[in-house]
Amino acid sequence: MSNELLAQIDRVIQKRPLYKEALSTYRELVRLIEDSKPEIMYSTKDEAVAETKAKQGFPVFSREDLPLDLKATSSLFPRLLEHMSSQKREDSKALKNALDRVQTDPQWIERTITAFLSRDETTFTTMAQEVNLEPMVLRFVTSMALKPSLNALREAVGERIQKETWDYGYCPLCGSSPDMASLDDEGNRMLHCELCGSEWRYPRLKCPFCEKSEPKELGYFVSEEEEGFRVDFCKKCKVYIKTLDRRVVESPAPLELENIITLHLDMLAHEQGFKTPSG
């Protein structure tokens, strides 16, 4: 999987030289997390209970109690910081601060991960400020360090997720919001989880964030430079989501990658007064 992902990143860099720097960092981190082999302790105790819970709209886990391999995550975390701080970056000193902090206070990683997963923005931002790092960069490092565990968990839970019948705007596996959407070959809309990468089907004419489905509240715009993409928005809650049309885009990269290289669509959406679910 990872080799395939690396090859895809290389292809995207060729296609989008503008994103070379961002993607090169991403590529390096993908390479570093590749060796991580997290152990996920997960068992299905009671299928019937799980099914009933799913019908009532409860995801399999909440973000706070995901059975992740925190040991694997904690050992990756400093390695990612070390690599990034050794690069020519404006924030390499801040990254080094973070690395020093992690090495002198191992609990720091755990607190960062907890704040990240429980969406405790205040604590998370304070922790980033403690080491002079942009919260966005700390968020990126944290999510990359969690990725092997999340990928393993997604594979372990696999078929148990109700991808076709789950009728909610949050992830059936971890309860997070979607960060992107796609239209499949039949034109069905699939949402993609911002945290664990699960995908599930969702009605096209319904806002995943406030669940309104009045056509006059929903709309989308397209960008001429970006064939096969559109930005769906909701006038009610002012939230937008980028959508990739698989009927138009030939062999797209994984959505997490397409998300990185379509930042100008985010800018257009912000200009029009729309925001992501997290603000």
Which parts of this chain interact with Zn ion (CB under 5 A)? 171, 173-174, 176, 193, 195-196, 198, 207, 209-210, 234, 236-237
Cα–Cα distances in Å, from 222 out to 182, 225, 229? 14, 9, 6
CB of 13 to Zn ion, least distance (A): 27
Contact 229, 222 (CB under 8 A): yes
The torsion angle over the Cα atoms of residues 64, 70, 76 and 81, rounded to 10 degrees, is 50
Helix (H) or strand (E) holding 21, with range, is helix 20-33
CB of 188 to Zn ion, least distance (A): 19
In the bound state with Zn ion, the residue whose beta carbon lies nearer, of 52 and 62, is 62
3-state secondary structure of 90: coil
CB of 209 to Zn ion, least distance (A): 5
Cα–Cα distances in Å, from 277 out to 216, 243, 249? 20, 15, 25
CB of 207 to Zn ion, least distance (A): 3
In the bound state with Zn ion, the residue whose beta carbon lies nearer, of 22 and 237, is 237
In the bound state with Zn ion, the residue whose beta carbon lies nearer, of 127 and 194, is 194
In the bound state with Zn ion, the residue whose beta carbon lies nearer, of 160 and 236, is 236
- Partnered with residue 275 across adjacent β-strands are 239
Of 241, 269, 239, 260, the closest CA to residue 183 belongs to 241
3-state secondary structure of 50: helix
Please state, in angstroms and rounded to a whole number, the distance separating the CA atoms of residues 232 and 236: 12
Determine how many CB atoms are found less than 10 A away from the CB of residue 220. Answer: 12
CB of 176 to Zn ion, least distance (A): 5
In the bound state with Zn ion, the residue whose beta carbon lies nearer, of 25 and 142, is 142
CB of 44 to Zn ion, least distance (A): 18
CB of 178 to Zn ion, least distance (A): 9
Contact 150, 76 (CB under 8 A): no
In the bound state with Zn ion, the residue whose beta carbon lies nearer, of 81 and 194, is 194
3-state secondary structure of 107: helix
In the bound state with Zn ion, the residue whose beta carbon lies nearer, of 84 and 196, is 196
